[in-house]
Chains A and B, each alone.
Chain A
Amino acid sequence: MTEKKPGWKEYPLAAVISKPGSCTYHNTGDWKTMRPVRDDSKCDKCGFCWIICPDAALFMGEDGYYEVDLYHCKGCGICAHECKKSAIRMIPEEH
């Protein structure tokens, strides 16, 4: 059974999105081929990765380390490239 998709009358006018923040529901994390892994012995919790992440896919955890939100991280690798302490490396994503 295929899911019945909405007809043209059912869509909001001009494709307006009336629910703010709806893009957070999109699992952009499944685009990635590589994912970032942190080495806690090198990381000094500076937060540079959090600042430069283009997808806001990092958040501060309770212990002060910045954790990756793998549901949204696209695996671009900018954090690993920019980390001053080389504390992040990219490993192949397992699908």
Chain B
Amino acid sequence: MGIRTGMEVSIAISEAVKLSRAEVIAAYPITPQTHIVEELARMVADGELDAKFIMVESEHSAMSACIGAAAAGARSFTATAAQGLALMHEMLYIASGLRLPVVMAVANRAMSAPLSIWGDHSDIMAERDSGWIQLFAETGQDAFDLTIQAFRIAEDERVSLPVVVNIDGFTLSHVIEPLEIESQEDVDRFLPPFKPVIQLDPDKPISIGPVGFPEIYTEIKKQQNVALVESYKVIREIWNEFRDMFGREYHPVESYRTEDAEILIHIAGSTAGTARIAVDMLREKGEKVGLIRTRLWRPYPFEDMKKAVAGVKAVAAVDRCLSFGGQGGPMCSELKSAMYNLEEKPFIAGFIAGLGGRDITIEDFFTIVKETKKMLEEGGGGEEYRMIGVRE
């Protein structure tokens, strides 16, 4: 049986990593992720966790060390944010390209400049195409559960890919939430020891990461993409198993009060909590508004998304990231692309909000819904996206 307790979400992630029996943790401190690895360092130092904690000189080295450790057959974990994630950039592609199941928590933070330590999704969106399985947590319980699930998903022999668990910097990483911490016994039942698919072993020597001449590179990338796309089924299967064991349900796209909804708000991460209150308040006024939240960002859950928006008039897609000079929000663009070839599709209005830690309030969601309705009444045209709360 688990224990219900109040805990800072960063510490809950550290607990999840400990319960997952991670064997190597390599990390470099960066706000707002620091508490996660600080706590893990303490656990290792105090003998609570039998793991090697490698203090490295940069995030590039942190990811490199995790790659090496995973290749040697160790369950590996790291955590980072913003510029730290950007510094890992090239190594993220190595982890996925080598099919090594590293697990990472990213406490999402705005990219500098200007320097911002506060939350938004611009760090992970820059790594969208790095070949990692990408999950977004809304709550502390999500963060705890997804971290344990991440190891199971990453290490599944049909997958063998790295997984990133995104938690909003500060608004999730630094808040104390009530959550269920599962027992070691139950986590052990859910997560068996790591059996590497690819492993460096002196008794069975192999070379990993050789040159891929033009003659084979495309085939190897095809392999990798098929593995990522097909991980969808495995993720669903593992989530079902998790539900049966622990009683909490996980879906690629989470829906809230979407029945008979005409307008859906779409968002990822902790802001969904605020959006949910806004939806409740609008529903009380008789407005047919619902909420959808992307939990699984890669592989993109095309079918779930099509199903989630079927029959609605409009989707207000809110991104905490601005794709400069493009369509605005990466998640909005993706949603639009996914709908483009459908005969019946909703009007999709793009909104940018919550950049660099700017609060997204209940009132902001009222504005978002109001503007979406207005655009819909005007025939569904207008600009590609609007920035919420920006002062003129």
Binding site for B on A (CB under 8 A): 5-9, 11, 13-18, 20, 22
Q: Identify the B interface with A (CB < 8 A).
A: 97-99, 160, 197-198, 204-210, 212, 215-216, 218-220, 222-224, 226
CB neighbours of B215 from chain A (8 A): 5
The A interface, classified by DSSP as helix, strand, loop or mixed, is loop
B206 and A15 within 8 A (CB) = no
Q: What separation, in Å, do the CA atoms of A11 and B160 have in the docked complex?
A: 16
B131 CB to closest chain A CB (Å) equals 11
Q: Contacts A15-B212, A16-B207, A17-B207: A7 and B99 contacting too (C-beta < 8 A)?
A: no
* Complex Cα spacing A7 to B215, Å: 11
Q: Can you name 16 extra interface pairs (CB under 8 A) apart from A14-B198, A16-B206?
A: A6-B219, A7-B219, A8-B220, A8-B226, A9-B223, A11-B223, A13-B197, A14-B98, A14-B99, A14-B208, A14-B209, A15-B209, A15-B220, A16-B208, A20-B206, A22-B207
| CA of A7 to CA of B223, assembled, Å | 10
Closest A residue to B227 by beta carbon equals A13
CA distance in complex: A5, B218 (Å)? 13
Task: Enumerate chain B residues within 8 angstroms of A11, measured Cβ to Cβ.
Answer: 216, 219-220, 223
List A contacts of B212 (CB < 8 A). Answer: 15
Q: Name the B residues within 8 Å of A16 (CB-CB).
A: 198, 206-208
Docked CA distance A20–B207 (Å): 7
Please determine whether A14 and B206 come into contact, CB atoms closer than 8 angstroms. Answer: no
| Cα distance, A16 to B205, chains bound together (Å) | 11
Does A14 contact B224, Cβ atoms closer than 8 Å?
A: yes
A-B CB contact pairs (8 Å), 25 listed: A5-B215, A8-B220, A8-B223, A8-B226, A9-B223, A11-B216, A11-B219, A11-B220, A13-B198, A14-B98, A14-B99, A14-B198, A14-B208, A14-B209, A14-B223, A14-B224, A15-B209, A15-B220, A17-B206, A17-B208, A18-B206, A20-B205, A20-B206, A20-B207, A22-B207
A5-B215, A6-B219 known; A15 vs B205 contact (CB < 8 Å): no
Give me the 3 closest cross-chain CB pairs, A-B, nearest first: A8-B219, A17-B207, A8-B222
Residues of A contacting B206 with CB < 8 Å? 16-18, 20
Residue of A5, A7, A14 most packed against chain B (CB within 10 A): A14
- CA–CA, A13 and B160, complex, Å: 10
B99 and A13 contact, CB distance less than 8 A = yes
Q: Taking A5-B215, A11-B216 as contacts, is the C-beta distance between A17 and B223 under 8 angstroms?
A: no
Give the docked Cα–Cα distance between A14 and B212 (Å): 10
A5 CA to B207 CA in the complex, in Å?
22
Q: Which residues of A contact B222 (CB under 8 A)?
A: 8
